[in-house]
């Protein structure tokens, strides 16, 4: 059985987080992952307090296992969402897209386990000093908002820099990836892209088909000129966006272009206008499965790889 100190810390059976995914990771997916023994995470994205409260209640109607809420720090509703997670006694908060320190004191005082996503050693150190329970070190292979450093390079440097558990994210979609993350010193993994095709994932059919058909070169990062790069499947939207970016469009113009594009992909399956956020590992995601099958495959696969690893040592 694969168990790490992170499991005891969070009261979960398997060291697998389902990453918060804007417009996608709702109560349906998150409750299924938590029921399977991992940590399901509802993405608060740009939604308001009422939407989040409803999702938390829906999740709790489906499972009594621990779960998390992903607070998107760039959201215009971040302040009210930060309050809801306290009022609703959410056990774990994972923050994305920025520096969460302004909320951490209140969350820590409320007994919430705070696990920021970091793309650099500097931010990992800062949040560790402010009382983070763990950090998610997320490499540039990931879908969604990304940093510059790859998972392979980032995870061991973060592990060396902080005394709290490190969860590896970015480019992990099977047991080999999980085992590799553990070898780098991680105590858990966060997976996004593979869960896009989970049976319980409510994303559009068009989105799932695009992920299933993707190969190793199907994604591209855009938005570096804005300071907020994003990785998505290549599509008419990313082509148009990249063209405008290369032509010197301002951050405001590019921001306006992106408005509504995630919803169009996730909810409407609009191939022409949608932004289909997705990680580089999509080429390895070729099967629709239940959340439980995905969690089990990740963990069982890692056990097999880890048991076999010593065969190379004389």
Positions that interact with ligand FMN (CB under 6 A): 19-22, 24, 43, 45, 70, 72, 96-97, 117, 138, 141-144, 169-172, 190-193, 277-279, 281
Can you say whether the dihedral through the CA atoms of 184, 296, 12, 310 is positive or negative?
negative
Residue 312 CB, nearest distance to ligand FMN (Å)?
26
Residue 160 CB, nearest distance to ligand FMN (Å)?
21
Can you say whether the dihedral through the CA atoms of 275, 277, 283, 286 is positive or negative?
negative
Residue 101 CB, nearest distance to ligand FMN (Å)?
16
Measured from the CB atom, the residue of 128 and 137 that comes closer to ligand FMN is: 137
Residue 310 CB, nearest distance to ligand FMN (Å)?
28
Measured from the CB atom, the residue of 65 and 231 that comes closer to ligand FMN is: 231
Residues 6+ apart with CB under 8 A from 261: 237, 273, 274, 275
Measured from the CB atom, the residue of 19 and 188 that comes closer to ligand FMN is: 19
- Contact indicator for 113, 93 with CB cutoff of 8 Å: yes
Element (H or E) spanning 40, and its range? strand 40-43
Token pair for 215 = 């190969």
Token pair for 35 = 């029921």
Measured from the CB atom, the residue of 228 and 249 that comes closer to ligand FMN is: 228
Measured from the CB atom, the residue of 249 and 288 that comes closer to ligand FMN is: 288
Query: Between the CA of residue 223 and those of 21, 164, 185, 231, 258, what are the distances in Å?
Result: 18, 32, 31, 9, 10
Residue 81 CB, nearest distance to ligand FMN (Å)?
12
């Amino acid at each position: 059985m694969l168990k790490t100190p992170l499991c005891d810390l969070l009261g979960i059976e398997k060291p697998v987080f389902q990453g918060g995914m804007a417009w996608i990771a709702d109560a349906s997916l998150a409750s299924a992952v938590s029921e399977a023994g991992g940590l399901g995470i509802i993405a608060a994205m740009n939604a308001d307090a009422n939407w989040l409260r409803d999702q938390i209640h829906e999740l709790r109607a489906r499972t009594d296992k621990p779960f998390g809420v992903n607070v998107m720090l760039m959201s215009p509703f971040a302040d009210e969402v930060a309050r809801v997670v306290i009022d609703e006694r959410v056990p774990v908060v994972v923050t994305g897209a920025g520096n969460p320190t302004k909320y951490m004191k209140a969350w820590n005082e409320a007994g919430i386990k705070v696990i920021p996503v970091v793309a650099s050693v500097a931010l990992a150190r800062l949040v560790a000093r402010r009382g983070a329970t763990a950090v998610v070190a997320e490499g540039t292979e990931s879908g969604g908002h990304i940093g510059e450093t790859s998972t392979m390079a980032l995870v061991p440097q973060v592990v060396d820099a902080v005394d709290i558990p490190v969860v590896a994210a970015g480019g992990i979609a099977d047991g080999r990836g999980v085992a590799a993350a553990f070898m780098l010193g991680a105590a858990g993994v966060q997976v996004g892209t593979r869960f896009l095709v989970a049976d319980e994932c409510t994303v559009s059919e068009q989105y799932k088909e695009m992920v299933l058909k993707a190969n190793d070169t199907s994604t591209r990062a855009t938005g570096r000129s804005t300071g907020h790069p994003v990785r998505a499947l290549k599509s008419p939207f990313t082509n148009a966006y990249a063209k405008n970016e290369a032509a010197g469009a301002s951050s405001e113009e590019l921001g306006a272009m992106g408005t509504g594009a995630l919803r169009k992909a996730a909810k409407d399956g609009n191939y022409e206008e949608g932004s289909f956020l997705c990680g580089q590992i999509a080429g390895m995601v070729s099967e629709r499965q239940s959340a439980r099958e995905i969690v089990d495959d990740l963990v069982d696969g890692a056990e097999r790889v880890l048991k076999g690893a010593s065969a190379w040592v004389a």
